[in-house]
Structure 1
C-alpha cells in the first residue's frame, strides 16, 4: 500500500538539524506533495533510521505531556477533540499508540511527517493525519478518515509489520532485517533492525534526510528519523516508567498488571514497562487486573471505567478486579472513582 508522504513545514524545532534556505537558493519542493523541504544539515544512515526502542518505547509518556507538547508547538490539535471518540487528540495519540505497543513520540513524528499537524495551527489534513490508507493518487479509504481512526490505523499497521519481523518473516511488502531491497528512490537498502524495515514498509522511500542515496526531492522515511530526533530533545519526555500507561484504565498501571483492553477485549500484561501482545486468556501471574465487569442490567461485559445507572438513584463504575464501585456523580459529571467514564449508560 502506498502511503501519503509529507514534510516538516515549520522550522522552529529544526534549528539544530535543519536550517532554512538562504540567499538565492531555490526552494526544493517535494515531488509527491508539492510542499517545500527544509535543507538538512543532520542526516541519518538509511540502513538504520531509528532504533527499535524508538518505535516501541515511550511507555511513560502521558496524555498530559503530549497535550503540553502540542500547546508548545502551537498545534491545532492542542484544542481538538475527535467527535467520533469523544477524546482529545493528545489522549488518542497516547491511547491508540500504546494499544498497539507503539511509542506516542514516534506517532507525533509520523503525524508531523504526513500532515504537518503537530506544528500547524490549522486543521488542514486532519482527516488524513498519518497518511494511513491515503494513496498519493486518490483520497483516503473511508474507513480510515478522521483523526482518531488515522492514529489507530498507523499504530496497527506498524504493530503488524513489527509482529511479522519479530517472527522472522518479511513484511507485507517484502522488507526484512538483513535483506537488501530497493526503495522507490531507488536505493538499495539493507535494514539492520526491525524499526527501519517497518519504516520502509510504511513509506518505501529513503528521501532527502539520509547520508547515502535518497531522492532529494522527497521527504521519505529518513524524514521520520529527522523529526523524531528533533522532538526527542524538544520536550523533557520521561525516560522510564514504573509500570505502563493504559488507555483503558487511563492511568499508569504497575508492573505485572493485566488489562483487558477496551479496544479489542484482549488481555495485555505490563512487563518491563511495555504491554505484551494481546491474548484471549488472562495471564496467571497478574499483580492486579482490570477485566471487563459483567453488567446484569446491560446483559454483557463492559470495559474498566464504564459507568452504568442501575436504578433511579444508583450509578456504578467498573473498577479493578471486575468490581463495580459506587459512582453517584457519574450521571452528571461523567466521572467516577476510576476517573472519566469510558462510556455512560443511563436508564
Structure 2
C-alpha cells in the first residue's frame, strides 16, 4: 500500500540524475486511508476544489476507455469481475453505475485511487471498500456497502443525492452549501464556491495537504481528489464529449441539447457540449432538439418515466413510454421485459 502512488513522483526523481536516490525521509502516510501522500507541488483553492462539470461531466466516457486506462496502469481492476453484479468487469461497473447517477467515470476513478489505490495497484487490497463509501472516519465500514460494485453504486448515489440537494438550494446532509462557511475536520473554515466543492466536503470533510490555505500535511483529504483527477484527465485521451450525454432514464445517449425528464426526481436536464447535464429544472428547456418526457397513462391515472411499459386497459396491449412522450407498441414486453426503446424501466400489467 505504501508505494501505490509513488509513480506520480518519478519525473521529479529522474530529473535529479541517474545515480541511486537515497530516501532521506520516510514517506508520509495518510492517517485516514493509509496511503502514501504525494509531494504537494501543485496546490488548489480550498474554497473551489473542483468545478461542477468535473464531477458531472465525462458522460461520453466508455467502458472500453476505462478498461484501457486500467490496463495502462497495470491495475488489479483490469481483470476483476464482480460476482455480486453478474460478473461485470470493474470498468463496466465504474462507467455504468457512475452514469446511472450522471456522475463522471473519470471522477470515480480518482475517488477510487484516493480511497483505496486500486487504480494503480496490482493487488486486491481494499477491494471491499474501493470508494470509502459507508466508511466514516470514526468507525468501520457498513456491511451493506461491502464489495466493489456496491462501493461504486454507493459512491455515485450518495454524490448525486448531495448534488440534488444543492441544485434545489438546500444544504447537503452534513450542512455544506455554496456560499455558506463551515468548518472541516482539519479544521479549516471553508466557504464553497461550487456545488462540486460542497459535495466533496460532504463526502470527505477534510481539506488535506493540497490546498493553498489551512490544509494538514498528514491527510490527503478532498484536495487529493482534485490532484488525482487532474493527473488522470491528462494521462489518457478521453475525448471531448461532443457526441452527447448518456442518460440512464432513457437508456440512450442524447445529442447535445437533447433533454430528458429524470426518472429519479422528474426534473428536466439538458445535454451540454461538455458531456454533462444541466442542473435540474421543473420546466422543460425551450431549446431541446429531442426529448424524453414522462408519459401520461390513463390506465394508471398518472405519468410515468421514459421506458416504462404498461398494459393498456383500453386494448389489453402493451405499450412503452418513448421519445417525445409518445406511447409505442411493445408486444414483447411481457416476455422479454423490453420494448422498442429498450429495457422496461417499470412494468405494469392489468
Smaller-chain TM-score bracket: 0.7 to 0.9
Tell me, yes or no, if structure 1 residue 62 matches structure 2 residue 62.
yes
**Superposition pairs of residues 170-185 of structure 1, within 5 angstroms:** 170-185=171-186
Aligned to 1:31: 31
Counterpart-to-counterpart distance in 2, 1:303 and 1:74: 43
Aligned to 1:84: 84
Name the residue aligned to 1:317.
none
Tell me whether 159-168 or 240-249 shows the greater mean CA deviation: 240-249
Alignment deviations for residues 22-60 of structure 1 (CA, whole Å, 9 cap, x no partner): 641222122223333222211211111111111111122
CA distance in 2, matches of 1:180, 1:7: 35
**By how many angstroms is 1:18 displaced?**
10
Please, what TM-score do these two structures have when normalized by structure 1?
Answer: 0.75
Could you tell me which runs of 5 or more consecutive residues in structure 2 were left unpaired when the two chains were aligned.
294-305, 312-316, 346-350
Residue 231 of structure 2 corresponds to which residue in structure 1?
Answer: 230
Q: How far off its partner does 1:12 sit? A: 2.6
Kept in 2, the 8 Å contact 1:267–1:280? The answer is yes
Higher relative contact order (CA 8 A, sep 6+): 1
For the Cα contact (< 8 Å) 1:81–1:89, is it kept in 2? yes
SS class of match (2:192): coil
Kept after mapping to 2: 8 A contact 1:181/1:190:
yes
Q: Is the 8 A contact 1:208 1:214 kept in 2?
A: yes
Which residue is 2:191 aligned to?
Answer: 190
Shift of 1:235: 0.4
**Structure-2 change in CA distance of 1:241 and 1:131 (3 Å):** same
1:252 aligns with 2:253: yes
In the alignment, which residue of structure 1 is the partner of 2:205? 204
Tell me, what secondary structure is at the counterpart of 2:84? coil
- For 1:161 and 1:259, locate their aligned partners in 2 and report how far apart those are by CA, in whole Å: 20
SS of residue matched to 1:245: strand
Normalization by structure 2: what TM-score? 0.74
Find the aligned partners of 1:267 and 1:188 in 2 and give their Cα distance: 33
Moved over 6 A (4+): 16-21, 258-261, 263-268, 276-286, 299-304
Question: What are the Cα deviations for residues 35-87 of structure 1, in whole angstroms up to 9, with x where unaligned?
Answer: 33222211211111111111111122111111111111111111122222222
Structure 1 unmatched runs, 5+: 1-5, 305-319, 332-336
> Is the partner of 1:29 in helix, strand or coil?
coil
Q: Measure, in 1, the Cα distance between the counterparts of 2:78 and 2:344.
A: 21
What do you get for the CA RMSD once the two structures are aligned?
Answer: 4.1
Contact 2:319–2:331 at 8 Å: present in 1 too?
no
Q: 1:14 to 1:160 in 2, by over 3 A?
A: farther
Q: CA deviation at 1:139?
A: 3.1
Cα distance between partner residues in 2 of 1:243 and 1:289: 14
Aligned length: 318
Q: Name the stretch that deviates more: 136-145 or 62-71.
A: 136-145
CA distance in 2, matches of 1:140, 1:213: 28
Secondary structure at the counterpart of residue 39 of structure 1: coil
Structure 1 segment 258-269 matched on structure 2, within 5 A: none
Q: Distance in 2 between matches of 1:227 and 1:99?
A: 23
